Amino acid sequence: MKEFLCDFAAADLSAIVSPPYRAKQIFQWVYQRYATNFNEISTLPKELRAALNDRFTLEAVTIAAKQNSADGSVKYLFRLADNHAIEAVLLLMREEQIDEDENVAKQAQYTICVSTQVGCKIGCAFCMTAKGGFTRNLSAGEIVAQVLLIKRDRQMPPEKGLNVVYMGMGEPLDNLDNVAKAIAILSDESGLGISPRRQTLSTSGISPKIVALGKMKLGVLLAISLHAVDDRTRQTLMPINKAYNIESIIAAVKAFPIDLRKRVMFEYLMIKGVNDSIDCAKKLVKLLSGLRAKVNLIAFNPHEAAVFESPDRVAVESFQRFLLDRGLLCVVRKSRGLDIDAACGQLRERLGEQARAL
């Protein structure tokens, strides 16, 4: 079976191709000029193109389906070489703004949310991906390809900056080596050039792996899926809390190297009657005191198999106001793509066997 070119960092490739500077050219053609075939790389000698064709493929990940949302988000379903399916979402964070002279005043801003595993072992109670169990880790290239294929599909100018969040299917820290490699490949200036400071790794809170990630000094941003302020509630939502409780997560975050201009994001999924009270908000302020933290409140978006309910709008507003009044930065994340299956695992589940067989 051919090797997937996206699994190779430019440094690895330069040890394979001769002369080594050809690796940079290959990166530029694949990641910036969106070549889909080595024969397109006209600056390479014919023999090298043939050798690349013999050894590598560029098609280990392909787009199997897309869903457009009215708010500009697009959900992608990808097919892997072994026929498994994964998802990524292109989120429109800010629309293009045109001034009165019809010039672009502000560019559109995008974030791509990528998957890191086929399925997931963590088993969060509110998650659709968890229902399908765990199949396998994604390779670094399979993670990188989600960004490349979306940029290529949209024909985005190569210099178009975007953010990447590791928040799709899977627990990134359960696949740390491949995720770390993907972060490095995505940030390579001769490729997609997405700085680690524009990449956010979101974890369910595997404390020792947060420490290990910090020691790697990748410069990547960190987000913690906290979702509850006491271990008892968190355990019912996230069984992983039995192994790594809230205290251990906060200790690991304290040891994590944070860029002084940045903050650690704490994701807090608000669920009606579970964690949406002002008492919870009080505990959250106490828990995060002394940390460079930002809270991202997300109103639960019910899926078909959900046993939980969305919080009332007033409860979300009061919760946010309480945090802000006490100096804790807090935003309410807009539920983008509500008219598509936006939560992780939903598109894959909806298309079910059909998606897996595509």
292 by Cβ neighbours in 10 Å (0-12 / 13-18 / 19+) ranks as middle
Catalytic member of 87, 142, 171, 349: 87
Q: 23 or 224: whose CB is closer to ligand SF4?
A: 224
Q: Tell whether residue 130 is a contact of ligand SF4 (CB under 6 A).
A: yes
State yes or no: residue 341 binds ligand SF4 (CB under 6 A): no
When the beta carbons of 139 and 346 are compared against ligand SF4, the nearer one is 346
Cα separation, 45 vs 68, whole angstroms = 41
> Does 86 help bind ligand SF4 (rule: CB under 6 A)?
no
The reply to whether 23 sits near ligand SF4 by the rule CB under 6 A is no
Among 31, 48, 141, 170, binds ligand SF4 (CB under 6 A): 170
Known active-site residue 344? yes
Q: Are strands 109-114 and 162-166 parallel, antiparallel or unpaired?
A: parallel
73 closest CA partner among 342, 348, 332, 334: 342
7 is an interface residue for ligand SF4 by CB under 6 A: no
265 binds ligand SF4 per the rule CB under 6 A: no
**Nearest to 148, CA basis, from 88, 94, 95, 202:** 88
Whole-number minimum distance, CB 123 to ligand SF4, in Å?
A: 6
CA distance 143 to 163: 14
The CA-atom distances, in angstroms, between 125 and each of 113, 152, 266, 335 are 21, 35, 18, 19
Q: Is 129 in the site for ligand SF4 (CB under 6 A)?
A: yes
Binding-site member from 30, 48, 150, 169 for ligand SF4 (CB under 6 A): 169
Q: How far, in Å, CA of 266 to CA of 242, rounded? A: 19
Q: Does 124 bind ligand SF4 (CB under 6 A)?
A: yes
Instruction: Give first-to-last CA distance, the chain, whole Å.
Output: 20
204 belongs to the binding site for ligand SF4 (CB under 6 A): yes
Stretch that binds ligand SF4, among 106-114, 165-173, 179-187, 285-293 (CB under 6 A): 165-173
Q: Respond yes or no: is residue 6 known to be catalytic.
A: no
One-letter amino acid for residue 36 of the chain: T
Task: Tell the smallest beta-carbon distance from residue 338 to ligand SF4 (Å).
Answer: 18
Rounded Cα distance, 212 and 176, in Å = 9
Choose the binding region for ligand SF4 from 5-13, 117-125, 293-301, 331-339 (rule: CB under 6 A).
Answer: 117-125
Answer yes or no: are the C-beta atoms of 209 and 176 closer than 8 Å: yes
Which residues in this chain contact ligand SF4 in the complex, by CB under 6 A?
Answer: 120, 122-124, 127, 129-130, 169-171, 204, 344
Cite the active site residues.
87, 344
